[in-house]
A and B are shown apart, each in its own frame.
Chain A
Amino acid sequence: MASEGATLGEQEPARGRGGWEARRRRVPYWLMLPAAIFLLILLVIPLFILVYTSLQSGGVFSGDFAFTWNFSNYTDQLGQYQEQMLRSVVYAGLTTLLALLLAYPMTYWIAFYGGRWKTSILLLILLPFFVSFVIRTVQWRFLLGDQGLIFGPLKDLGLLPDSFRVLATPLAVIAGMTYNYLPFTALPLYVALERIDERLVEAAKDLYSSRYEAFRHVVWPLSLPGVFAAFLLTFVPATGDYVNASVLGGTNTTMIGNIIQEKFLQELNYPEAAALSVILMIVMLILASIYAKVLGTEDSALAAGATGA
């Protein structure tokens, strides 16, 4: 980044001078000291304790666990919950794909044709998210219910068979997740599309490309960082999601998040739950680092920056 280069350049004459510059060099450390202490205690150490817990063994009923390098937690859990893990990845993948397909045309239009209403339309998209997502998910249960607000009238009119159902099926869970994660997909897409210089598209058209070709060769490649950011910001939380599966799903839509939640909060089986958590974390971190390698860490902050803007 240009600004980093400038800061580097400024530090050049630092070596020549004495105490003042040395003090100046300490400034960033003082600035981040509170955050460092806080994040060390409440982010880094907890993750180590999670790993530590995952290697414990002991009686679930007696409640006393001891650290024994119990790696069998991992192999046991991987073997036992393969189905739920696979399901989580498949549901999250479908959710991400659907959300991308739904959000792209919309953000494209806002970014290129929104004009002076851009911010207002974007705000309209974010408006529903002032309502707690738990409440909105519960409302979808009423919308998608067997005799609910959408299918009830259709069944009364005879347009749908009585046996038709969406609630408690994988479709309901995927639809709920798509709905809930759509803004996480839309925001980075919007930021990437909004950045594109419209003159590039015009230049392509001047050079006799059709609108489709201009999109294919100019807009789409330039929006790719946004697509990847959207993928990461949708896929990662969707894989660990358990709210949609518990509110909208049934017994055959259990995701890995549901298992972790149940083991941690109901069964109080901390070692097994921690092992599953660590597995989820490692898979997600590998995915995220591949992404960061490909696109650079700056873009991974893209969406977070957009949310704040």
Chain B
Amino acid sequence: MSTVATEAASLPSRSQAPLHQRKKRWTRFILPTYTWLMILYLTLPVFVMILYSFNAIPVQPVRQTAKFWGFTLEWWRDPLGVAGLSEALKNSLSIAPLSAAIATVIGTLLGLALGRYRFKGLAVVSFIIFIAIAVPEIVLGSSLLSLYVEWPSLPVIGALAPAIGWATILLSHISFSIAFVAITVRARVQGLDRSLEDAAQDLFANPIVAFFKVTLPIIAPAILAGFLLAFVLSLDDFVITNFTSGSTFTFPTFVFGASRIGIPPQVNVWGTILFTAGIIAAVASVLSGHRRDKA
């Protein structure tokens, strides 16, 4: 766009105005159309996943094919009919809530410490959180594997070494979730009006009561957000799990392993189920958010 055109457009002359308007009306549709196309692009593989959970594959062994043979509900009727799948799902669905809950407690306390106090060592702690987020997952995964491999040979605490599998996956997931919960809570604590808590302390004269009656309800949305984030991160984690799971599988590592020879349609069924659950949770949180705004 040249400056001449600009000046012409912004001149307060009446004859120019409609021209400018018309041009504006046409270009107005570019960005929204683009955005919706992008959303379509992002959702495309999800549509494929859902569609192919109904694919009537006639060949044995049953693996996803590019060809769509027709509709069937067979895989939906027998969603666990693949060796190892139910075990992997059980691991994923037990590790995700447990690691998220533990990381939320630990991370919330850390977020409180970071958000409202200035203390010696703050820089060190901030740096460690920075590392937890800025280091590639593959490095975190390989360092955790090094720990689990070396742990049994360490003096004194060697006997406490967890067996590589469910326990090491859980520990690893807690470890990488803490930083994300802490940052989420810290952001909320920093925006907190401290005079509220001070007023409460003046009235109750007990910091612990003030914390539970005033601070906790205010930061509750951030704690919930932190929990959900940790839950999703754990449920979807592949790289760190792949390094720390030994011969145990979670849903993502099962899918990856299966993808070498082709994924069974039941994987798409479970993908669709988890996706639907995610949508319901998201819609519920948006609706409850609206209600909170109105109240």
Chain A: residues with CB nearer than 8 A to chain B?
Answer: 1, 3-4, 6-8, 10-11, 25, 27-29, 31-32, 34-36, 38-39, 42-47, 49-50, 52-53, 102, 105-106, 108-110, 113, 119-121, 123-143, 145, 147-149, 152, 179, 182, 205, 208-213, 232, 236-237, 239-243, 247, 257, 260-261, 264-265, 270, 273-274, 277-278, 280-281, 284-285, 288, 292, 297, 300-301, 304-305, 307-309
Contacts and interface: CB of A to CB of B under 8 A. Distances in A.
Nearest to A257: B138
Most chain A beta carbons < 10 A, residue from B46, B229, B274: B46
B146 interface: yes
A270 B148 CA distance: 12
B39 interface: yes
A270 B128 CA distance: 24
B100 interface: no
Contacts of A1: 190
A83 B65 CA distance: 34
Contacts of B140: 43, 46
B251 to A, nearest CB: 6
Contact of B279 (A36, A127, A264, A309): A127
Nearest to A29: B119
Contacts of B10: 205, 208, 210
B54 interface: no
A49 B147 CA distance: 6
Nearest to A278: B139
A147 B66 CA distance: 8
Given A35-B106, A208-B6, A106 B38 contact: yes
B170 to A, nearest CB: 11
A217 B6 CA distance: 15
B48 A149 contact: yes
B75 to A, nearest CB: 14
Contacts of B146: 46, 49-50, 52-53, 270, 274
Given A49-B147, A273-B142, A237 B137 contact: yes
B255 A210 contact: no
Contacts of B115: 3
A162 B208 CA distance: 72
B242 A308 contact: no
Given A43-B175, A209-B6, 20 more contacts: A4-B118, A31-B110, A31-B117, A34-B106, A38-B178, A43-B140, A52-B146, A106-B34, A133-B238, A135-B268, A138-B64, A208-B7, A210-B10, A241-B138, A243-B239, A261-B138, A277-B138, A285-B135, A292-B130, A304-B133
B18 interface: no
A20 B133 CA distance: 36
Interface string B13-44: 00000000000000000011011001101111
A42 B107 CA distance: 14
B34 A109 contact: yes
B136 A236 contact: yes
B42 A179 contact: yes
A309 B188 CA distance: 9
B144 interface: yes
B139 A277 contact: yes
Contact of A42 (B144, B235, B239): B144
